[in-house]
Amino acid sequence: MRSEVAGMEVGFTGRYGIEAPYWPAGYGLASALLLPLARWLSRWWLAAAAAFFGQAVLYLHTTLRGKHLVWRRELDRLELAGDEHLLDVGCGSGAVLIAAARRLPRGAAVGVDLWRSIDQSGNDPARTWANARICGVADRIRLHTADMTELPFPNASFDVVTSALAVHNIPDARRREQALAEMARVLKPGGQLVLVDIMHTNHYAKVLRDVITNLECRGLGVSYWYGGPWVSARALTGTRK
């Protein structure tokens, strides 16, 4: 039986921060600086200012609303029974973690993060707990401070592993591969993986193909564009062998 909240429209209650907040700030600043040039020099500068402004708006739409809509859809695709144990890697302020917990009335959602504000504004476990309490799911959630390359859980601990825009933050390719191996290690045979990122997803698929079956890599549409299609998120999904 699917969880009773799967597919239901729920609001984006809470404060979830902005990924890499310096990017939309930079787009907005560039637009503001170019506007005076448009008045005195050329319409091309007006077009450039409008382009930067549009990128800022699209970026903010994705981080404040679009990603929630996409993850609502992705979690519904899992057809959760409601009693699963789910791990969210790089949970941040809890956008995915809490959306998952709402679908697990008899289960648990576990989040791990290093809580770096450079990755997401206001990234702090206190905010994640506050969001969970506001959404009424604090009793279903557990948080850990941990490096995704060394997850503090036994093998085959979780029915589902999710991750949103976390793995690419590891600069070293070998450590990214180690993080992927850790996600596979803690996932039960038959468990489901949903990994979303803005880069390296084809390489992730190559790394995981020996341990994940029904592997699919697909785009997530304009609602997950960070300023434009050149920074678009893709989903990697599959089942643990």
> What pTM does this model have?
0.85
pLDDT at 205 over 80: yes
Does 184 lie in the same domain as 154? yes
> Is 123 found in the same domain as 54?
no
5 lies in a domain?
A: no
Residue 151 belongs to domain with CATH number: 3.40.50.150
> In whole angstroms, what is the distance from residue 184 CA to residue 197 CA?
16
The yes-or-no verdict on residue 10 having pLDDT over 60 is no
Euclidean distance between CA atoms 11 and 101, whole angstroms: 14
pLDDT in tens, 166-186: 999 999 999 999 999 999 999
Quickly count: other Cβ atoms within 10 Å of residue 112's Cβ. 24
Is 86 in the same domain as 56?
Answer: no
Total number of domains constituting the chain? 2
- Asked, for residue 208, whether it belongs to a domain, the answer is yes
pLDDT tens figures, 125-170: 999 999 999 999 999 999 999 999 999 999 999 999 999 999 999 9
Domain that holds residue 162: 81-240
- Domain assignment present for residue 76? The answer is no
Domain boundary among 5, 29, 63: 63
- Give residue-wise pLDDT tens across range 79-95: 999 999 999 999 999 99
Residues 39 and 87 occupy one common structural domain: no
Q: Looking at the domain assignment, is residue 190 inside a domain?
A: yes
C-alpha span between 216 and 213 (Å, rounded)? 9
Which residues contact residue 73 at a Cβ distance below 8 angstroms, ignoring those fewer than 6 apart? none
Q: Is 98 helix (H, G, I), strand (E, B) or coil?
A: helix
Q: Find residue 110's DSSP bridge partners.
A: 87, 142
User: Do 222 and 144 belong to one domain?
Assistant: yes
The answer to the question of residue 186 being in a domain is yes
Order of strands, sheet of 158-164, starting from the edge strand that comes earlier in the sequence:
141-145, 108-113, 85-89, 158-164, 187-197, 234-240, 212-219
Residue 72 lies in a domain: no
Clarify whether residues 229 and 185 are in a common domain.
yes
pLDDT top residue among 135 and 226: 135
Residue 176 lies in a domain: yes
Q: Could you tell me if 98 and 39 lie in one domain?
A: no
Is 16 among the domain residues? no
